[in-house]
């Protein structure tokens, strides 16, 4: 039976939360077969707050408030704003297509059928970076749209919950104005003033993070690999410690999906009598290559540092997840990474983890689920959204230099 998500009678806030959950399944190369996604996301948020795996270009952070302010000026009511905003965002696609630099247009293929609008993709950045000042969900904003637009909205201050104030701007008061011709004319190129505004927002609201450091001290040509980016590597010690924790964790657990895929391939050969020699060789080779890199590390991975970060950031640390990672780390320390592929205890650990996560749908326990396996499921090094953040930084620093 195929798993589904059903939209019940949810509030606007509930829908916003569900969309953020769905984003977690879209990270490049990170199908979460072993339940590592929540730890990946804690580290991603610690390094690059306000970002997500499906953001594409930085100027969307300005497009969204500009489009909504146009609707406010037109006195669109709360009952109509959702559809009006949708039309405006879909229309923006055509404006952006007319520019030579049009990579990263959201909805370029889907157009009117677009399900995930840019506003929902970037709402986390708008609130986290203090551009939408109430720090509330998009659904909250839309439900109070006409009242806020007319200045009749009442908003509680996030920094002082006991104080209520009204007639305060819900968009940041220094939000730059769009260039003449917007939205019929639009491009991804930031002006100097726009880039400076965004840099200031990130520095103020995300101080002490790698993102805040790079918007001030980075360049328009960041390294392809965040672990090798020279600007990241000269960040203050506290930031480098978080980056090193992310690097070390991503390497340490890279062997888990490789072993899982090796077990599935072997199980398919056994149960389905299929020719899996190529896949088995591929995953054994991948494990050997990973083991060499893991063995080159100066010290074994210490999960305690990650648990401390999760707790410090108010995250949730499920006990089975903790036991799984600690068991993996302890056995590798005992055995050495070279012995992972054929170790019965690690094989049992991975099989038990899948069964706990998926129940009857676990491939290693359900013959029918072996049929729809895609080789390489979940394999790949975690990059903690760097693939996306890198483009945002390129856009920013090109704007600063404009």
Helix (H) or strand (E) holding 214: helix 210-217
Each residue's pLDDT tens digit, 141-168? 999 998 898 875 555 544 555 544 455 7
Residue closest to 351 by CA, chosen among 374, 373, 371, 324:
324
| Rounded Cα distance, 189 and 374, in Å | 39
pLDDT for 376 equals 87
| Rounded Cα distance, 350 and 368, in Å | 19
Within the chain, which residues score under 70 in pLDDT?
1-31, 152-167
Q: Which residues pair with 132 in a beta bridge?
A: 171
How many angstroms from the chain centroid is the CA of residue 332?
29
Each residue's pLDDT tens digit, 83-133? 999 999 999 999 999 999 999 999 999 998 999 999 999 999 999 999 999
Residue closest to 123 by CA, chosen among 175, 199, 61, 49:
61
* Strand runs labelled E in 73-169: 154-156, 164-166
* CB of 201 closer than 8 Å to CB of 218: no
Average pLDDT across the chain, whole number: 90
For 100, 104, 129, 131, the CA distances from 126, given in Å and listed in that order, are 27, 19, 6, 5
Helix (H) or strand (E) holding 122: helix 118-128
Evaluated on CA atoms 360, 366, 371, 373, the torsion sign reads positive
Q: Which residues pair with 154 in a beta bridge?
A: 166
pLDDT for 372 equals 87
pLDDT for 152 equals 57
* CB of 396 closer than 8 Å to CB of 199: yes
* Cis-peptide, bond into residue 183, ω within 30° of zero: yes
The model scores a pTM over 0.75: yes
Mapped onto helix, strand or coil, the DSSP state of residue 155 is strand
């Amino acid at each position: 039976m195929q798993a589904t998500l059903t939209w019940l009678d949810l509030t606007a806030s509930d829908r916003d939360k569900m969309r953020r959950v769905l984003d977690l399944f879209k990270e490049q190369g990170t199908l979460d077969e072993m339940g590592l996604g929540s730890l990946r996301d804690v580290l991603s948020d610690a390094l690059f707050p306000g970002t997500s795996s499906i953001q594409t270009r930085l100027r969307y952070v300005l497009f969204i408030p500009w489009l909504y302010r146009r609707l406010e000026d037109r006195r669109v009511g709360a009952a109509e704003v959702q559809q009006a905003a949708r039309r405006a965002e879909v229309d923006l696609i055509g404006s952006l297509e007319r520019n030579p630099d049009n990579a990263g247009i959201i909805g370029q293929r889907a157009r009117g059928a677009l399900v995930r609008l840019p506003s929902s993709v970037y709402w986390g950045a708008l609130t986290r970076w203090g551009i939408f000042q109430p720090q509330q969900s998009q659904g909250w904003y839309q439900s109070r749209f006409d009242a806020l637009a007319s200045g009749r909205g009442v908003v509680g201050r996030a920094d002082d919950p006991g104080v209520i104030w009204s007639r305060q701007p819900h968009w940041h008061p220094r939000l730059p104005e769009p260039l003449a011709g917007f939205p019929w004319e639009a491009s991804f190129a930031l002006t100097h003033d726009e880039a400076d505004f965004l840099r200031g927002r990130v520095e103020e609201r995300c101080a002490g993070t790698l993102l805040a450091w790079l918007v001030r001290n980075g360049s328009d040509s960041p390294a392809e690999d965040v672990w090798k980016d020279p600007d990241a590597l000269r960040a203050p010690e506290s930031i480098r410690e978080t980056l090193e924790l992310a690097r070390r964790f991503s390497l340490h657990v890279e062997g888990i999906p490789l072993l899982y895929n090796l077990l599935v391939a072997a199980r398919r050969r056994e149960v389905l009598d299929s020719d899996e020699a190529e896949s088995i060789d591929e995953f054994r080779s991948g494990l050997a290559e990973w083991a060499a890199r893991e063995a080159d590390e100066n010290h074994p991975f210490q999960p305690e540092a990650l648990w401390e970060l999760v707790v410090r950031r108010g995250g949730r640390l499920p006990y089975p997840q903790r036991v799984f990672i600690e068991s993996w780390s302890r056995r590798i320390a005992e055995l050495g990474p070279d012995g992972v592929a054929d170790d019965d205890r690690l094989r049992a650990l991975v099989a038990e983890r899948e069964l706990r996560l998926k129940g009857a749908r676990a491939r290693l326990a359900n013959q029918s689920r072996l049929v729809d396996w895609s080789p390489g499921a979940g394999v790949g090094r975690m990059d903690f959204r760097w693939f996306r953040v890198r483009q945002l930084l390129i856009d920013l620093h090109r704007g600063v230099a404009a």
